Every structure is written in C-alpha cells, then in structure tokens.
C-alpha cells in the first residue's frame, strides 16, 4: 500500500516558493495559542522582581512588542498570507529562572494563525532578552511551539 | 561591603522605558553570532532532503527572511537602536531531526549586534516552521542564544 | 445606585495591555472625520501662497503623507486592529495664520476608524511642519480631534 | 456628440489626490498577471546558469522579494487600497540574454490586483539586477505590463 | 534694500519636492525636545489614576509607541532624511484634565531631529487617545511644538 | 592564461545568499542616477496635461512615492545594505506618449546607491501607472537603467 506524502505547502509544481492560493477556502474563526520561554539566571529574575515588576514596565514593553510583531507576521515570514487579526493577547508567567511567554491570536480568515502566535512569542521573548542583557549574558530562548489551535 | 547591581539598561531614572543614550560611545566594529534550532520529525527531514534540499529553496527562503529580519530589528525590538549593518549571513546545518540556524551579523556602530543576530535566527527558524508545518504539527524552536560577540 | 465605570478597552483582566477581541462584532460601514491645525506665522502663509500653493506641491506632499499614515495606523498605534480601509481623503483649508487639516476615512469592519483619521491628520500636519520649518521656527500643531463618526 | 473623458480615478473634485472610495463595490475574486524582463549580457546568463541556477538561489531570492513586495504594495503606491492577497506566485523564464519575470496575484476584494502584480514583477526584477550587478553593468529592466486581468 | 526670503527647504528649482542634499554638511550631535498634550475629562484622569497608573501600563504603551515612531520618522514624513538615532526618551506629566507628553531625541548626523521628537510626541499622544477613547469621546491633542533644539 | 570570472557578489562560499561584508570598505560620497519610462497613449498624456499637470498633483504623488521607495530599498531588495541617504531627487519629463522618470540619489557610505535610484524610478513609474490606469489599459514601463554612477 502506498500513500503520497502530504505536500510541503509552499513549494509549487516546479519547486519554487509561492504564497499558496487560499482563495477558495471559506472564512472561519481561527485561534492559535503559542508558548516559549526565556531562561535566565535566578539573580536576573530577582532583580526583575525587585525593580521592574512592581512597575510592570519590562513585561509591558515585551507585550507590546509581541502584539506589534503578530500584526507584522506576513511582512516577516515570506510565504504567510496577510490576515486582519481580531485579537492578540500576550501574557507572561515569571518563574524562578525564567519567564514563560504565551500568545493567543484570533482572526476570521482562510488560514490559521499559528505563525502569528509563534511570531508574537518569539519577538516578546527577544524583547525580554534585550531588556535583561545588560545584567545577564547567559540567557537563551526555547520551547517555542503551538500549544493550541482551533477553527470554528 | 556593598555594590549596587548593574542597572537594567533600558529603565530610566523614573522606571520608564527609553532607548538609552549611546551618543557618547565611540564607533567600533561589532560582530555577533547567534544560533537556534528547529526540532522536527525524522520524516520531515527526510522529506526535506528528498524534495526540497536539492533545490535549496526552503533554506534560501528562510535565509532571506532571516537577513531581512536582521535589518528590521530596531523596528521589532522597541528599545533597540537603529544600526547600519555591514554584513548579515544566515546558514543552516540539517541534522537528523532538526535544522540548526546560525546567523552572523556585523556593523560599525555604538552598540552591539547580538539582538540583530538573535532576531535573524528567530525569524529564519519561524520561516522554516512555516514551510514545514503542513507536514509536521509537532515542531518546536529552541536553543536561541548568542554564541559569540566581538568588538574591535 | 451604582454603576461600574466603562472599562478601559485595552486593559485585560490582569491589567496588561492587549489588542481586544473584536471577532464577534459584525462588520459595518464605518466613517470617521478628524481635524487638526498647523499654526504658523502670517509670513509663512504668505510665502506658501506666493510660492508653493500655485503648484499645490506642499499640500500634495502632506496629503500623501496623511493617506499613507492612515494605512499604517495599526503599525503605529500598538493596540489598533488592522483594517482594510476603503477610502482615505485628506484636505486642507489655508487660513491667514495656519492650515486646517481634515481627514475622512472609511472602512468596512469590526472597529471604528477614528484612530486612522486622527493619524492621517497628525502626520499630514507634521509633514506641513517639516516643509515650512526652514522659514518658521515657531509653529505648533493643535486641535486634533474627531469631528464626526458614523456606523451604518 | 460629446462624451466626457473617463475621470482619472485618484483625483478628487478639487484636484487633490485621494484614496478613492471603494466601499460600495462588491467583493469579487480578482486575478492579475504581469510580466517584465531583465535584459543582461549573454555572459551573465551563462554565469548564472553555470553557477547559480543549479541551486536556484538567485531566482528564489528574487521570487521571495517579489512576493514580499506584492504584500507591501499599498505601502509603496500611495493611492492603492490595502488588500488581503490570497495568492502570489512569481516565476521566471531564463532566456539567452535576459530573464522574464511573471507574477500572478489573487485576492477577494473591491479593487483589482494589477498594481500588486506589477509591483511583484518590478521588485523581483530589481532583485535580479542587484544580484547580477557585480558581473554586468549594462543591464536594464523593461516590458513591465499587465498581461491578464480577471474578475469572477 | 531687498532681501530674498529664505527658501522653503524642500522645494527644488522647478518647484517639485525633493529630499534636499545634506551630504556636504558635517556631522554634529543633535538634540531636540518636543511637547504636546492630550486634553481629556477630569473623570478620565481619575479613572486612569485609579486603575492604570499604578501599573504604569497605559503610559508605558504610549512611551513605546512614541519611541518606535521616532525611529520610523523618515518613513512617515516624506522628505525627512533617515537618521541613526542614538537616544529617544518619552515621558509624561499627568495633570488634572490632561497628560503632557515630552520627547527628547538625540542623534549624530547632518540634520536636526525635531521632526523625530515631534513625531514621537504625536504618536504617543495618539496612543493615549486610543487607550482612553472607550471612556472619553471628547478628547483632543494640541500644543505640539519644539521646546528645545541644540547642536554641539 | 586563465582568469576567474568576477564572483556574483551575493553568493557565499556554499552558494547561499548573504548580505556581503562591506565593513572594511571606506566611506565615500556616492551618487547614482537612474531612468525609466512609462509609455502610454497620446490621449492619456493629453488628459494629463489638460487636467492634472496644471496642479502638478500626479507628478508630485509619484515623486513622493519614488523618494519614499528610495529610503525603503534595503527593506525591498533582500541583499541590499541599509544606507543613510543624504539626498533623493525624482524628476519627470512629459513626452507625447510617455513620461520619463529620473532619480538622483546620494549617500556617504560603503556601497553604491544605484539600487536606491533604480527603486525610486520603478516605484515612481508604478505610481504614475496606478494614477493613469483608469483611463489607459495599455501602458507599460521600461528602459529602467543606471545612467550615471560616481564615487568621490
């Protein structure tokens, strides 16, 4: 028994890249949730709690960066379709040695919004990195993945 | 004996966020190298090798996305300074169950270029994710970190 | 009798910022008109009339800047939803000591377009400022407000 | 017998420029195909074939640039309406002394997509130019035109 | 005695618009400070103080929007030169019936940075407007002007 | 006697694309002039002369679009280096059956500015096309080439 492998969606018949045709797909309500994590030192989190969290500033800056990045996804990821997002939410859980970033994105459209959620998480985490790099040179970002995807 | 903790560089005196003043810093040649990894299934890599790598397309698309993202860093990361990059290079190592992304960025300026290298890696990895997501729904991106930073 | 104050729309349950969910709202035809004014010297207006208005150039440049800004609103204002504008019109009334800027924006969508109209007015006025600043160092921009808002 | 000339669509009543109101137009499926050509030396094409075409890189880079430009059309062309493109395809025919670029763009909306197709062709051709200019200083780009336009 | 009026800097010999040549100007350290004000109801400020200011969120969002806008000035104002800003600071004074926005921008370059400071103020004020518009429909933005300009 | 062909500048050792390292190059004053032509019907030019040219609007809109595009070149052309342009000038010659577009771009930097001049010409011509397409469906754009390039 043979079955053809599912095609890589962005490769056209001659192997070139294209933004695939979704014109015939119906519009539906799409939701995607993605997560990632900035891992840093215990000391960085302690400093963050002591100095920045009471004001919320560091997290708010990263939140805004993530929201803006979600809206810019089709300009950043070459074969992503432009989508009019109806909702973007970026939240954080501060842990002992890191910060978990979670983004929820919604749109009504012809394609899913997981790239938008992953992009929001990535850019929010990069922004946290940028704001902490003066005090911590050994951080890393990981665990970026889709944790939920719905179509209704 | 006490010593004040090194300040979070982007928090000003009243706790607000600002793009810190680097006007008095001398220009120097800056290099930063960052890495990250898309982890996917063995089958995805096999399909990638069988169908896409001979053309180089998937990797080239991700390469271009990473290069473009490096140039857009100060628009994506709110407190990053704009910098005229003199070189951006994005390369890949295809492994059995994943793809390592490595970006090298250079500029002559008053601030380092690690955020540009990290942003190039992140967006290149997101682009790989986007191009493989039709065949693999369990990928993740991780290990995003600076592996080298020089000033000369 | 008590009644809860209307919520600040962009603050979520935990006080963070988010791009609020408008996915359940119906699409409707939206119109917003905004105005603002560049106040400058009598002499600047006289020079503008004598030299530039016959060609319409200064006003056309500002008009284009305002139209382009309206389309970029969701990239500029962090919590604005992206909207496919169906019409943008920017006009001017040249007065003795200033220029009134008026923008009319229309879209079919789930949110109003007053931010787009206000952004068009602001950037058109800034562009006028930029073009006149070589001859007038005492200008100011004010009176930026929504003068009409309709939903049909 | 007299008949008024068809109006220039982007000039309003007072002669100023505006993004004309398309709010009352129905949505329809739009397709536009545009073409253009980079003319270069026989030697450049020979080098391209010998060194780059096996990898597809030069063409893929231009392809991605064209796709990204199509999505950015309303930011580049001042009076173009923003449109959620559903498909963009950019292809090439390598000839003896030049490369033909062809772009096909689709969207569901109130305006045609010929500007998006023309923009994709132009920027893809400029990207080819950029990648070949180290070996050929006498190239030119021409023949940029719409070859097909459909509404359904 | 006659003296020619100072030329409008952005009009070239034939009356067209251009981005004037500053190539022969020396680089110098430039600073500009601009201010503006969002006028709103006493009740809005009271709500802002009661609910949002403790977290700093509304002001931080506007701060980030202003900083990002300063960096985007040459993309927004057609005849502005691109400049590598070395510092952007956006601050607020909350008054009984309004919020004063103040931006300080620095760069080393051939042109002044007042347009960058004015743009930061304008977009920060628009962002405040956006975040308060659900509770206050009678706000306005005014008093946008340069309050200091230095070259060293 | 053999001599290696001059390398395609944007292909790195392994055949991938990169933004080549120009960090070691000295800064010099660069000028590039490019031209292109929109070919249209005699009737379109007649209408343009009769209705639009007296106001200069159509040409001014295209001029602004070309200037803005020059500044956005490194975001449009993937392997172009970002450059702080010191001057951009876009002019037009209206002929019987077409409009010649000419752009002059200057910068002080490590790379030439011909891509910026070619991009300005292309986008200005596309903008003319956009503004005339309601009255002329048989236009084309061609002759896009560098006519002068200097380094001092």
CA atoms within 13 A on the CB side of D79: 32
Residue F6 has pLDDT above 80, yes or no: no
CB contact under 8 A, D71 and A84: no
Q: Is the confidence at residue E130, as pLDDT, over 90? A: yes
Overall average pLDDT of the F111-120 stretch = 97
B:F CB pairs within 8 Å: 56
Q: Which domains does chain E have, with CATH numbers?
A: 30-151 (3.30.70.640)
Which among A57, A65, A68 has the least Cβ separation from residue E56?
A57
**Nearest-CA distance A38 → chain B (Å):** 9
| B93-131 per-residue burial string, b: 16 or more CB within 10 A, e: under 16 | eeeeebbbbbbbbbbbbbbbbbbbbbbbbbbbbbbbbbb
Chain B CB contacts of D57 under 8 Å are 56, 60
Specify the pLDDT at position F50.
Answer: 79
Half-sphere exposure of D20 (CA within 13 A, CB side): 16
Is residue C6 less than 8 Å (CB to CB) from chain F?
no
Please, what's the b/e burial string for F7-24 (b: 16 or more CB within 10 A of its CB; e: otherwise)? Answer: ebbbbbeebbbbbbbbbe
DSSP state string for D68-84: HHHHTHHHHSTTPPP--
How high is the mean pLDDT of chain B? 89
Lowest-pLDDT range of A44-48, B128-132, D121-125, D140-144? A44-48
Hey, is the C-beta of D84 within 8 angstroms of any chain A C-beta? yes
Can E97 be counted among the known catalytic residues?
no
A28 lies within 8 A of chain C by CB: no
- Is residue F2 predicted with pLDDT exceeding 90? no
Residues of chain C positioned with their CB less than 8 A from the CB of E16: 57
Disruptive mutation site among C21, C26, C115 for chain A (greatest number of A CBs within 10 Å):
C21
d(CA B36, CA D136): 37
pLDDT of F99 above 80? yes
CB B118 within 8 A of CB B34: yes
pLDDT at D57 over 90: no
Q: Give the pair of three-digit tokens for residue A41.
A: 């030192």
Q: What does the pLDDT read at residue B32?
A: 98
D71 touches chain C (CB under 8 A): no
Question: CA-based Rg of chain E, rounded to a whole angstrom?
Answer: 18
- Name the residue of chain A whose CA is nearest to E63's CA: A61
- 3-state secondary structure (DSSP) of residue D93: strand
Q: What is the DSSP letter of A32?
A: E
Asked if the C-beta of D128 comes within 8 angstroms of chain B's C-beta atoms, the answer is: no
Q: Report the neighbours of A using a cutoff of 3 or more CB pairs below 8 angstroms.
A: B, C, D, E
* Residue C151: φ, ψ to 5°: -135, 130
The 10s digit of each residue's pLDDT in D97-152 is 999 999 999 999 999 999 999 999 999 999 999 999 998 999 999 999 999 999 98
Residue A13's Cβ-count burial label (10 Å; 0-12, 13-18, 19+) is exposed
Average pLDDT score over residue span A70-81: 97
Is A89 in the C-facing interface, judged by CB distances under 8 Å? yes
In order of A16, C147, D56, D58, E147, the CA distances from B56 in angstroms are 10, 55, 7, 11, 55
Each residue of C134-143: pLDDT tens digit?
889 999 999 9
Q: Is D64 on the interface with F (CB under 8 A)?
A: yes
Nearest-by-Cβ selection for F85 from E12, E15, E81? E81
Q: Nearest by CB to F15, which of D55, D125, D135?
A: D55
Q: Supply the DSSP symbol for F80.
A: P
pTM for this structure? Answer: 0.94
The residues, ordered by sequence, that sit 6+ positions from B3 with a Cβ below 8 Å of its Cβ are: none
Q: CB within 8 A of F139, min separation 6: which ones?
A: D145, F38, F39, F40, F41, F44, F129, F132, F133
- Beta strands per DSSP E along chain B: 28-39, 85-95, 98-109, 140-151
Percent of chain F past pLDDT 70, that is, above it, reads 87
Higher-pLDDT residue of C15 and A38 is A38
Considering CB atoms only, which of D29, D67, D106 is closest to A78?
D67
| B62, two tokens | 């991700």
Instruction: Output the DSSP codes for F117-134.
Output: HHHHHHHHHHHHHHHHTT
pLDDT in tens, E42-67: 999 998 887 655 445 889 999 999 99
Q: Find out whether C82 and A70 touch, Cβ atoms under 8 Å.
A: no
Q: Round to whole Å and give the CA distance between A45 and B8.
A: 12
Low-confidence ranges of chain C (pLDDT < 50): 1-5, 54-55
Question: What confidence tier does B83 reach under pLDDT thresholds 50, 70, 90?
Answer: very high
What is the mean predicted confidence (pLDDT) over E62-90?
96
Contacts of E19 in chain F (CB under 8 A): 67, 70-71, 85, 87-89
Confidence at residue F57, expressed as pLDDT on a 0 to 100 scale: 79
Contacts of A78 in chain D (CB under 8 A): 64, 67-68
* E110 chain-F contacts, CB cut-off 8 A: 86
- CA angle E86/E90/E93 to nearest 5° reads 155
Going by C-alpha positions, the residue among F31, F11, F1, F108 that lies closest to residue D134 is F11
């Amino acid at each position: 028994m043979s079955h053809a492998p599912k095609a890589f969606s962005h490769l056209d018949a001659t192997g070139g890249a294209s933004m695939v045709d979704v014109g015939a797909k119906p519009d539906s309500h799409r939701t995607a949730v993605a997560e990632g994590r900035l891992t840093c030192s215990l000391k960085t989190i302690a400093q963050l709690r002591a100095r920045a969290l009471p004001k919320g500033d560091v997290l708010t800056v990263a939140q805004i960066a993530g929201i803006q990045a979600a809206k810019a996804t089709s300009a950043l990821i070459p074969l992503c379709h432009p989508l009019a997002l109806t909702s973007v939410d970026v939240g954080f859980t501060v842990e002992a040695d890191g910060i978990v970033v979670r983004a929820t994105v919604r749109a009504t459209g012809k394609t899913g919004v997981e790239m938008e959620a992953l992009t929001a998480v990535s850019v929010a985490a990069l922004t946290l990195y940028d704001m902490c790099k003066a005090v911590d040179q050994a951080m890393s970002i990981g665990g970026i993945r889709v944790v939920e995807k719905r179509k209704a």
